[in-house]
Amino acid sequence: MAHADAARDEAAFSMRVLRHLASRAGSSANLAVSPLSLHAALALLGAGARGATLDDIVAFLGPAGAHAHAALASHVALRVLADSGGLGPDSGGGGFGPNSCFFGFGSGLNSGGGAMVRFANSVWVDVDLRLNDAYSRVVTEHYRAQARPAPFRRNPEEARGQINKWVAAATAGRMNDVVSPGSINSATAAVVANALYFKCAWKHKFRSWDTRDGDFFLPATGGTAGVPFMSSAKVRVQFMSSSREQYVVRRSGYKVLRLPYAHGSDRNRFSMYIYLPDDRGGLPSMLHKLSSDPALLESSGTMAREVPLRRFQVPRFTVEHSTDATAMLRDLGLRLPFDAAAADFSDMMETAPDRRLFVSEVHHKCFVEVDEEGTEAFAATTFGCTATSAAPAREPEEFVADHPFMFLIKEDTSGVVVFAGQVVNPSLSPRYSMH
């Protein structure tokens, strides 16, 4: 299927983004990002682009092509992350809006026993401007996006508040102020936004009484920091632990752990993948290897059976990351959408002949928390647009994540990477600071 090729591109995009952020943040930073949120917002943007601008966006997303990436974005919005909260868009479950999932919180499971997911797209346009009918129809029917008016020119702060309120609703009230003061001004013509919320219990929960403090090794100094581990543990951290057999494979230079989430009767299958380098300071080289050969990510997903482990420990962690993604996307090769003189988004909006729409700034925020019960994660991406004048491996004996590692949260059926990040020091984890 077309979207399967695009899903491989999205996984490769995930590694490019993560490696870029890691190279800029240094060796001591925890990171979290939602490649899927960025992909969805870029797809919405691409639906309104023409000519060389569209070609630039498509080439940036990967070789699968425009049709495949549009198909993936639509497949995610309409099937993979649709109605995963157990209530459909017309169920009247809450006041969030007609094109979203709504669900209750607490158990980490929806009514079908699977992940609680909220995935929402929107295009905000100034009240004095108008989206093209064809663009409005495409984003509504294929991407479940909401077209909304906003008083960008007349009252920028009110418009900013409306977008932030929408993001907060889409993330169950967990994320506020994704659009910071001053980001919206009277020249803003449109904002393309995506918001994503994920909460799910593990298929096999960790027992809290097995969690104990341990040592997590820090690569920069060779020292340790205290954090709580899910099993054993240098900084002191809490490690989660289990005597169950686990999905683990050994690759050249690293191991991969798959922790499946509960799915109940849902068709979607979510899992967390932890990539643990053999060397304590091996995270940068492993990121380079995986980003250079994204097929390694796909091969790591083939874990058909669980294996016994002599020792098994994974730290609890909470990671949040906020970035001005404008520079990141430019550095990774996306150029024309940011060019005020060359960008062509004439398929998106009806503007005066002497005015041209271009992307002026991109913001991305992400939060991931992992504990004995499961995972809660959420993210938001906004694109601000301004109108201006013109062979089988041997089984490992243990999996002890006591040094920096990479993680992915994937939907296994489609292969899309929903969240990605790295943990270099679990003791730095914030606690609900984005609330």
Q: Measured between alpha carbons, how far is 431 from 319 in angstroms, rounded to an integer? A: 9
Task: Report pLDDT for 294.
Answer: 78
> 221 Cβ partners below 8 Å, 6+ apart?
none
Going from the C-alpha of 424 to that of each of 50, 117, 289, 360, 431, the distances in angstroms are: 42, 27, 18, 32, 17
User: Percentage of residues in the chain with pLDDT exceeding 70?
Assistant: 83
As a whole-number percent, the residues of the chain with pLDDT over 90 amount to 61
Instruction: Give the whole-angstrom CA distance, residue 31 versus residue 25.
Output: 8
Average model confidence (pLDDT) for the chain? 84
Q: What is the DSSP string of 278-313?
A: SSTT-HHHHHHHHHH-THHHHHHT---S-B--SEEE
pLDDT band at 296 (very low <50, low <70, confident <90, very high): confident
What is 1-426's CATH number, 3.30.497.10, 1.10.260.40, 3.40.50.150, 3.10.450.50? 3.30.497.10
Q: Give the best-scoring range by mean pLDDT among 46-55, 68-77, 246-255.
A: 46-55
The predicted pLDDT at position 200 comes to 94
Residue that wins the pLDDT comparison between 223 and 71 = 71
Band of pLDDT at residue 432, cut at 50, 70 and 90: very low
- Residues 178, 199: Cα–Cα separation, whole Å: 20
Reported as a pLDDT band with limits 50, 70 and 90, residue 339 is very high
Contact 189, 351 (CB under 8 A): yes
Q: Which of 122-136, 158-172, 315-329, 419-433 has the lowest mean pLDDT?
A: 419-433
Domain ranges of the chain: 1-426
Mean pLDDT of 396-407: 89
Dist. CA 339–CA 342, nearest whole Å: 5
Non-local (6+) Cβ contacts of 355 within 8 A are 387, 388, 389, 390
The pair of three-digit structure tokens given for residue 175, joined into one six-digit string: 């994320």
What's the pLDDT score for residue 394? Answer: 58
pLDDT in tens, 212-233: 999 999 875 544 555 554 443 3
> What integer is the mean pLDDT of 10-33?
90
Specify the pairing of strand 374-389 against strand 349-350.
unpaired
Q: Stretch 338-363: mean pLDDT, rounded?
A: 86
Choose among 193, 186, 265, 144: nearest CA to 42. Answer: 193
Q: Looking at 91-100, 274-283, 296-305, 353-362, which range is the least confident one?
A: 91-100
Within 10 A of 162 (CB to CB), how many other CB atoms are there? 19
User: In sequence order, which residues have a C-beta less than 8 Å from that of residue 414 and are 6 or more positions away?
Assistant: 3, 4, 7, 72, 75, 76, 80
Question: Using an 8 Å Cβ cutoff, are 358 and 192 in contact?
Answer: no
What band does 4 get if pLDDT is binned at 50, 70 and 90?
confident
371-401 pLDDT tens trace = 999 999 999 999 999 987 654 455 566 999 9
The confidence score (pLDDT) of residue 102 equals 29
Lowest mean pLDDT of 56-65, 103-112, 243-252, 304-313, name the range: 103-112
Could you tell me the pLDDT band of residue 176, with boundaries at 50, 70 and 90? confident
pLDDT of residue 219: 74
pLDDT computed for residue 5 by the predictor: 86
pTM score: 0.88
Does residue 139 carry a pLDDT above 70? Answer: yes
Of the candidate ranges 36-45, 319-328, 390-399, the one whose mean pLDDT is the lowest: 390-399
Residue 65 in tokens: 């092509």
Residue 88 scores a pLDDT above 50: no
pLDDT of 297 strictly over 90: no
Tokens representing 282?
């091996």
List the one residue out of 158, 168, 144 whose CA is nearest residue 43. Answer: 144
**E strand intervals along 231-291:** 236-241, 247-251, 254-260, 270-277
pLDDT band at 81 (very low <50, low <70, confident <90, very high): confident
